[in-house]
Structure 1
Amino acid sequence: MEKNSSLKLAQVKKSRKYEDEVHVFGRIWMICAFFMMMSIPFMISVYYDAWPGFAPVFKGLLGVAPIFWTVAVIEIITYTPMLGSGGSYLGFVTGNLTNLKVPCALYAMENAQVKQGTLEGEVISTIAIATSSIVTTIIIAVGVLMLTPLTPILNSEMLKPAFDNILPALFGGLAVVYVSKNWKIAISPLLFMIVLFLLVPSLASSVSVLVPVGSLIAIGMARLLYNKGLLNTDKS
């Protein structure tokens, strides 16, 4: 008993130390990334001696910034519990969470048989997102270099159906795994979204905003099933 208690205490201390270090370095690199991003328009203004002024910049931001702020808050609330601290810092700096980083992290944790919210899940998620970022950067670099010779191939009618179905194929594969595991919980948000998009197709461009809606429906259904004793918590 004492040995087990000592091991658990050591694991808790190690986990806290890891979390503290992740937050320290994560905040440092987030600040560095912010200044690097802001330095691009600043350097362009310096080089061309073109300063738009506060009013035009504010006017331009007024139309787009609220949308991005809303999506950013929603993604932080929705994705951070899935990705963990390290994965969240890395994912939000490198971007493309919904289409790439989140599926990579979830699939990696699934293959490694670790749970979200654990130290093991945190490490696997961070490694998966880091690997995804490196591979994406390499592919973009190769794509830029090969853009001219590959343009006729990429624009061919034969490959168009494949490019149109990349995301459905990616999320379809993930959905089979997670829906089959918890189909009682997954069926309600799935049906809701299918009906919603059939009735209002224009909402397809607002998927990020609707993610938390689906999450709330799933949480509500899980609570309802649990209270009625219809949810097998051992398998879920």
Structure 2
Amino acid sequence: MSKKKRSYMDSTYTWGNIFMVTAICVLVAVPVAICLKFNAWPTFKQVFDGLLKVIPIFWTSAILEIVVYAPMLGTGATYLSFVTGNITNLKLPCVLNSRELAKTKPGTEADEVISTIATATSSIVTTIILAVGVLALTPILPALTGEDSALKPAFDQVLPALFGALGAGYLAKHWRISFVPVIAAVIVLMFNGSLGTGTLIPICVVVSILAAYLMYISGFLTGGVKPENPLKRKK
């Protein structure tokens, strides 16, 4: 690895850590400020009981998301995404589309830069749209999304339509490695239809990686030619 690349990665980690610590301090400052304002502090038992209820679900999901999303997003994009949120809905699709358009090679410095720019742009645009939407649509939002609104069924299909449009291109282009995770998701949902996306996505990602690896070493992806096992070290 060249000195330039080491310097870039080092600076990314440094600023990423500073960014994460700053974000945590800002997030914690809000409840602390409220407690100071009203002089109402929770006891240690109340805090512990509250954490105990969310640890099995959210903390496990958080660890899995880091393992799953970090290799897909890249270093800089991972730091930004895990602070600004909406990884599955916005950040990851933006990163994947940006890489596709820029035709960058995974793992390169250019790929890292494109991913970081895409994530930052997505965050900025999302913030602007939300601000404008809150100011402009608040008076008429109940009429658009209310239970008795004729447009409510359309709003309920926005997310499926987004992922359908994004997924169709990948399914058509990489159909050999696409059908296994789709089948895995269908089977999992048949047994537990209420399973959350935070659990379903890591399962499908693990299945996808294992299936793609087995297909590769078996020659299914290379026209019957069995390549050398990439996990075996050369003597």
Q: Same fold (TM over 0.5)?
A: yes
Counterpart Cα distance in 2 of 1:219 and 1:42: 43
Structure 1, 144-153 or 222-231: larger mean CA deviation: 144-153
Matching residue of 1:164: 156
- What is the aligned counterpart of 2:39 among 37, 49, 60? 49
Q: Which amino acid aligns with 1:41?
A: P
Taking a change above 3 Å as real, the CA distance of residues 212 and 152 of structure 1, as seen in their structure-2 partners, is closer
Provide the rounded CA distance (Å) in 2 between the counterparts of 1:227 and 1:155: 50
Query: Displacement, 1:186?
Result: 1.5
Pick aligned residue for 1:139 from 129, 133, 142:
129
2:226 aligned residue: none
1:115 counterpart letter in structure 2: K
CA distance in 1 between counterparts of 2:154 and 2:89 reads: 16
Percent identity among equivalent residues?
A: 49
**Alignment correspondent of 1:92:** 82
Partner of 2:168: 176
Pair 1:200 & 2:192 matched:
yes
Q: Secondary structure at the match of 1:115?
A: coil
Q: Which of 133-142 and 41-50 deviates more?
A: 133-142
**Higher alpha-carbon deviation: 80-89 or 215-224:** 215-224
Q: Which amino acid is the alignment partner of residue 137 of structure 1?
A: T
- Aligned-residue Cα RMSD (Å) equals 1.9
Whole-Å Cα distance in 1 between the matches of residues 103 and 154 of structure 2?
31
**For the Cα contact (< 8 Å) 2:20–2:83, is it kept in 1?**
yes
Decide whether aligned partners of structure 1 residues 65 and 171 sit closer, same or farther in structure 2, where only a CA change above 3 A counts.
Answer: same
Gaps of 5+ in 2: 224-235
Give the secondary-structure state (helix, strand or coil) at the position aligned to 1:146: helix
Structure 2 CA distance for aligned equivalents of residues 97 and 131 of structure 1:
13
Q: Paired residue for 1:64? A: 54
Higher helix share: 1
CA contact (8 A) 1:83 1:116 kept: no
Higher relative contact order (CA 8 A, sep 6+): 1
Equivalent pairs counted in the alignment come to: 222
Report deviation, 1:147.
4.3
C-alpha distance in 1, partners of 2:150/2:110?
A: 43
Indicate the residue corresponding to 1:218 in structure 2.
208
Q: 1:11-30 alignment to 2 at 5 Å?
A: 12-30=2-20
Q: Which runs of 5+ in 1 are unaligned?
A: 1-8
Q: Which runs of 4+ in 1 moved over 3 A?
A: none
2:23 corresponding residue in structure 1: 33
Deviations, residues 177-197 of structure 1 (Å, cap 9, x unaligned)? 222222111111101212322
1:191 aligns with 2:189: no
